Structure 1
Amino acid sequence: MTFSWKRVNAIFQKDYKDFSRNMAVSIVIFLPLIMAALYSRMGVDSIQGHFMTINMTFAMVGTYVQCCLIAEEKEKNTLRGLMLSPASTLEILGGKSLLSFVLTIVIIFFSAFLSEYKPANIAIVAVAIILSSLFYIGIGTLLGLVARSVMESSVIVLPVIGIFSVGSFVTVWAEKYPILKVVEYMPNVQLIDLAEKVEAGAGFADVLSNFGIISVWVVVVCLLTVSVFKKRMMD
């Protein structure tokens, strides 16, 4: 079976209609924009400050919105219809993730604009942001497949929002509590570290380790998501 953009586009358009009708979900995309505007007025101009907003966008838009959309499909039993359709796993997961991906990138762009974040090397940061968005959307899809309802999805996604939005600040205690050094390998911390290196004049070769760690997270989450999705198909 060949990959069909027509099927992906049909799933994308359906998700867009569901998203636009669900105010409880769609309203969260404005939270990072409000925070970015506030940071700009407060004069916050550090990498930590800028990426607090960006990581919140990943968690609130990439993960929360995606999780709720998948859970809503399950609750309405429309996801089962997709699984039984001629669409392949890649087409379904790709189509279901496309809206969250577009929203995430758009909100990050406007958040950076509002907070006046101008990276020294926009190409490196852009690639890192795109790669990171795949991780967060994958987490959202995985949690949505596990959740039994939209209400449950909005609860189980809260730890993700907390860990990946403000969890990077735990690194300040890493020297006092060595066990916390594992936090340094989290994708949000790696993204901040990459951005700081870029501001110091680093090139692609200097941030390959950051890209590598984020990529490992992406691959692991994607494999888990596909595995759970196929299990749901058999069920």
Structure 2
Amino acid sequence: MMNISFTRIQAIFMKDYKEFSRNYAISVMIFVPLIMTFLYRDMGIDVAQKLMFPLAITFGMVTAFIQAALIAEEKERNTLRSLLLSPASLADILIGKSALVSAITAIIIGLCCYIIGYMPSVAMIVALILSTLFYAALGTICGLFAKSTLETTFTVLPVVIIFPFGPMLLMFAERFSVLNIAKWLPSSQLADLAQGDISIPIIGILIWTIAAWVIAIILCKKRMVD
């Protein structure tokens, strides 16, 4: 079993925070979901539905993209290999590298809920936490495939387009039957939960989250021996 060092996790978190605060091209992304929330606030739809699009933007452009950019930046500077071979365990590295985007995501979602006037249920909070972990894992995977920060834009693009916008893809399912698979995406499960269904959406998001982190861990371990 891997030992977890909170001191090492904190050090990785602070390193990422400094990199994030210096890179304005990445840090400016945090304002996009808030702007979209203000635009959606006065729309004449259910309050839970108002939250879905800002959530999609948050998970895609903030959680996944920023996580991928931070991982890719480590690779570009050839510091990821050193980090993986350092005394820090793989758990320390993955938790530390995900802590910043998870905290930023939590703050943005909290602000979005406040702006719209939406009070999430306990089940929704659990689903949002799992979704945050899922998109952090996807960002890690995309970052490991990217060779540079610039290339992150292309590796994370399928994630930003497909995974956060499941409900919107379902709108075209009548014309393109293959898009019916979008109903099983985490974003679609989250939308179902917002409409009252609880157990199946949470189980679905949990399965996606576990699968994504298993892949991320395998890729990290492969990176250690490359």
Question: What range describes the TM-score normalised by the shorter chain of this pair?
Answer: over 0.9
Aligned counterparts of 1:208 and 1:131: Cα–Cα separation in 2: 14
Do structure 1's residue 104 and structure 2's residue 73 form an aligned pair? no
Aligned counterparts of 1:42 and 1:169: Cα–Cα separation in 2: 17
Partner of 2:216: 225
Which sections of structure 1, spanning at least 5 residues, go unmatched?
198-205
Partner of 2:118: 117
Aligned counterparts of 1:55 and 1:164: Cα–Cα separation in 2: 8
Aligned counterparts of 2:167 and 2:117: Cα–Cα separation in 1: 21
Partner of 1:203: none
Q: Is contact 1:62-1:100 (8 Å) kept?
A: yes
Partner of 1:53: 54
Q: Is contact 1:73-1:79 (8 Å) kept?
A: yes
Aligned counterparts of 2:193 and 2:138: Cα–Cα separation in 1: 21
Q: How many residues align?
A: 225
Structure 2 counterpart of 1:146, one-letter code: F
Aligned counterparts of 2:47 and 2:4: Cα–Cα separation in 1: 43
Do structure 1's residue 34 and structure 2's residue 35 form an aligned pair? yes
When structure 1 is superposed on structure 2, of 22-31 and 43-52 the one drifting more is: 43-52
The Cα of 1:173 is off from its aligned counterpart by 3.5
The Cα of 1:175 is off from its aligned counterpart by 4.7
The Cα of 1:180 is off from its aligned counterpart by 2.3
Aligned counterparts of 1:132 and 1:56: Cα–Cα separation in 2: 13
* DSSP-derived class of the 1:77 partner: coil
Correspondence for 1:208 among 194, 199, 203? 199
Structure 1 counterpart of 2:107, one-letter code: V
* DSSP-derived class of the 1:168 partner: helix
State the superposition RMSD in angstroms.
Answer: 1.6
Structure 1 counterpart of 2:204, one-letter code: I
Q: Is contact 1:33-1:107 (8 Å) kept?
A: yes
1:180-209 CA distances to partner (integer Å, 9 max, x unpaired)? 221100000000101111xxxxxxxx5111
* DSSP-derived class of the 1:225 partner: helix
Q: Is contact 1:56-1:164 (8 Å) kept?
A: no
Aligned counterparts of 1:162 and 1:94: Cα–Cα separation in 2: 26
Partner of 2:148: 149
Aligned counterparts of 1:65 and 1:231: Cα–Cα separation in 2: 22
Structure 2 counterpart of 1:208, one-letter code: S
Which sections of structure 2, spanning at least 5 residues, go unmatched?
none
Partner of 2:64: 63
When structure 1 is superposed on structure 2, of 60-69 and 48-57 the one drifting more is: 48-57
- Give runs of aligned pairs for residues 69-218 of structure 1, distance below 5 A: 69-119=70-120, 122-175=121-174, 177-197=176-196, 207-218=198-209
1:123-182 CA distances to partner (integer Å, 9 max, x unpaired)? 111111001111000000010011000000122212211223434212234355443221
Structure-2 change in CA distance of 1:176 and 1:151 (3 Å): closer
TM-score by length of 1: 0.90
Aligned counterparts of 1:158 and 1:178: Cα–Cα separation in 2: 23
TM-score by length of 2: 0.94
Aligned counterparts of 2:48 and 2:63: Cα–Cα separation in 1: 21
